[in-house]
Amino acid sequence: MKKNNKKQNAKNTKNANDTKNINDTSNLKILRVQDPKDFKVKPLHENLPQLPALVLMISPVKTGKSTIISNLLLNESFYGPDFFENVHIISNTINNDLTSRFLAERFDVEDNYNDEMIVNLLETQKSYEKKDQPEIALILDDVLGSIKKTAEVNMLATRFRHYNIKMLLFSTQVFRQVSNIIRGNCTNLIIGSPFPNRKELLKIAEEYGDLVDGVENFLKIYKKATPERYCFLHMAIQDNPVKCYKNFEELIAVGGNIVGEVPDISEFE
């Protein structure tokens, strides 16, 4: 009889421990997946788009768009020419733009878009073992107006990370040319100045205003970021809360909280 009681007590203790383990929420903590042993870490300033990134740049004509791209890819203080293993640039205007001449000299450049380019690029990336895939950047400058909504590059916006595309950058002068897929997947937004088309700017504000407490606050942040020609607003959308910068130099808002003086936006009313 004593042996049976001993066995029963041990069983009861085990059941109690099992119940305790089931209810122990400390076991439910999400752990970070460890990086591979050969994982490459490259130093990068926190104000820049953190990779992998889908950067959407909306900047009217003659507002320094090519200069921004050139600095990102050629200036050692940014990514620099050796940060990515391969850089591919597709631009309708690159061969006629003196500002972009150093990009054309340094990187793989095409002056027109077709879907085959994207298909071939992805096939090349897939030909490598995952751990050996080159880290690449793909820049599409002023091509969105000339491609179909079903273009391969629009679809790429949802899966670029799977091919080790560390930066996918779209630049355009017209916001309405940007597909919903690109808008919904962008991690970083750059808006140039001056922005002469008020309606176009308001469309951008309506699209992304909720990230910073509404359209009115978005316009205040944009004005604070762009006091002079060629200044731009950089929004790190992937951050929570969103961080907003004047150029890449000065943090001017965190979420809807504007740092320092709040500008007047009566000209937008």
Rounded to the nearest integer, the mean pLDDT of the chain is 89
Helices 215-225 and 198-208 sit at what angle, rounded to 10 degrees? 120
Residue 118 has pLDDT above 60, yes or no: yes
pLDDT > 90 in the chain, percent: 71
- Residue 216 tokens read as 């009115």
97 and 161 both lie in a single domain: yes
Residue 210 token pair: 């909720």
CATH of residue 121? 3.40.50.300
Q: What is the pLDDT of residue 71?
A: 96
Query: How large is the average pLDDT for residues 127-150?
Result: 92
Residues 163 and 202 in one domain: no
> What is the per-residue pLDDT for 97?
87
Residue 45 lies in a domain: no
Residue 161: what are its φ and ψ, rounded to 5°?
-60, -30
Rounded CA-CA distance 66/98 in Å is: 9
Is the pLDDT at 32 greater than 60? The verdict is: yes
Task: Give the chain's domain count.
Answer: 2
| Percent of the chain's residues with pLDDT above 70 | 87
Number of CB atoms found within 10 A of residue 30's CB:
5
Give 217-220 contacts, CB < 8 A, sequence gap 24+. Answer: 217/256, 217/258, 219/265, 219/268, 220/258, 220/262, 220/263, 220/265
Q: Whole domain around residue 125: which residue ranges?
A: 55-177
Tokens of 237: 């959308």
- Are residues 109 and 206 located together in one domain of the fold? no
My answer on whether 167 and 192 are in the same domain is no
Q: Is residue 39 part of a domain?
A: no
Confidence band of 3 (pLDDT split at 50, 70, 90): low
Mean pLDDT, residues 85-110 = 92
Contact at 8 Å (CB) between 115 and 65? no
Question: Is 252 exposed, middle or buried (CB count within 10 Å of its CB: 0-12, 13-18, 19+)?
Answer: buried
Confidence at 40, pLDDT banded by 50, 70, 90:
low
Whether residue 25 lies inside any domain: the answer is no
